[in-house]
């Protein structure tokens, strides 16, 4: 059963009033495929464009978005994050890999905040680089891990 559907079949926020405050963490990842025209512009692992340093700007945008998740996703609870860290690196194929890690002491988890942070960081890379190429592909956004609350989750790497 979906947690955001009332017994009457209507959308509703989950009541977390009776839940205990616990330490909760989440790790989400986005992968952005960059065309060669962009990877050729890399200097010290960073693309520097007319709008500024792409990865650094994407990190800031992702953190800002994670903090505002409840304003973007209708039924998310507003959460004052304890921490949000975003790292961006290039993998062996030249893809930009964005890892967003969030944590909080709260009655509800932070996986949507981590997913939102990674997603907006990926969109920022696209926005800042689209003048060079529209061949940028945001090909993957997923939850890697969450801890705390009713259950833990870790993506299986087969």
Residues with a known catalytic role: 127
Closest-CA residue to 43 (of 34, 28, 30, 54): 54
d(CA 139, CA 131): 19
Give the angle 40-144-141 at the CA atoms, nearest 5°. 50
Three-class secondary structure of residue 105 per DSSP:
strand
Q: Are 10 and 118 in contact (CB under 8 A)?
A: no
Which residues fall within 8 angstroms of residue 113, CB to CB, at 6 or more apart?
26, 66, 67, 69, 79, 81, 84, 102, 104
| The pair of three-digit structure tokens given for residue 102, joined into one six-digit string | 């969030």
């Amino acid at each position: 059963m979906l947690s955001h559907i009332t017994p009457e079949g209507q959308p509703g926020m989950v009541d977390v009033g009776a839940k205990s405050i616990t330490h909760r963490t989440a790790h989400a990842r986005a992968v952005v495929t960059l065309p060669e025209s962009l990877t050729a512009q890399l200097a010290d692992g960073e693309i520097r464009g007319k709008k500024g340093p792409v990865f650094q700007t994407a990190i800031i945008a992702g953190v800002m978005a994670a903090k505002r998740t409840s304003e973007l996703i209708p039924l998310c609870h507003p959460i004052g994050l304890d921490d949000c860290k975003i790292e961006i690196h290039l993998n062996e194929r030249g893809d930009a890999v964005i890892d967003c890690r969030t944590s909080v002491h709260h009655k509800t988890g932070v996986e949507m905040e981590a997913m939102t942070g990674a997603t907006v960081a990926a969109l920022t890379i696209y926005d800042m680089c689209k003048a060079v190429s529209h061949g940028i592909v945001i090909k993957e956004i997923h939850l890697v891990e969450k801890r705390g609350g009713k259950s833990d989750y870790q993506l299986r790497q087969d």
